[in-house]
Amino acid sequence: MNAPLPDAVTVIDTRTNTVATTFDGGWAPTGMAPTPRNRLLLVTNFYAGELLVMRARSGQLLRTIPTGLGAAAVAVVRH
């Protein structure tokens, strides 16, 4: 078994309970939340002070949003 990548985000396929993909999560990814319909994944980077907006299936980085140092959680609220 390979050692996990440092600062990696691992996506689990909940239907099969297996690893679907692993991709770079930035510097110290801590909080993660999928958006509705699981198209995007929001990942906080504790030491970098940013929120990454990524495609959930591929890990493609779409944008970075500054949060300030110590961001450790994220929540998605639908109105």
CA distance 72 to 12: 21
Q: Which DSSP category does 22 fall into?
A: E
The more confident residue out of 79 and 77 is 77
Q: What would the pLDDT profile of 26-72 be if each residue is shown by its tens digit?
A: 888 989 999 988 899 999 998 899 999 999 888 899 999 999 989 88
Neighbours of 32 (CB within 10 A): 17
Answer for the pair 43, 27: CB distance below 8 angstroms, yes or no. Answer: no
Q: What does the pLDDT read at residue 41?
A: 92
Which CATH entry fits the domain spanning 8-66: 2.160.20, 2.40.10, 1.10.3430, 1.10.3680? 2.40.10
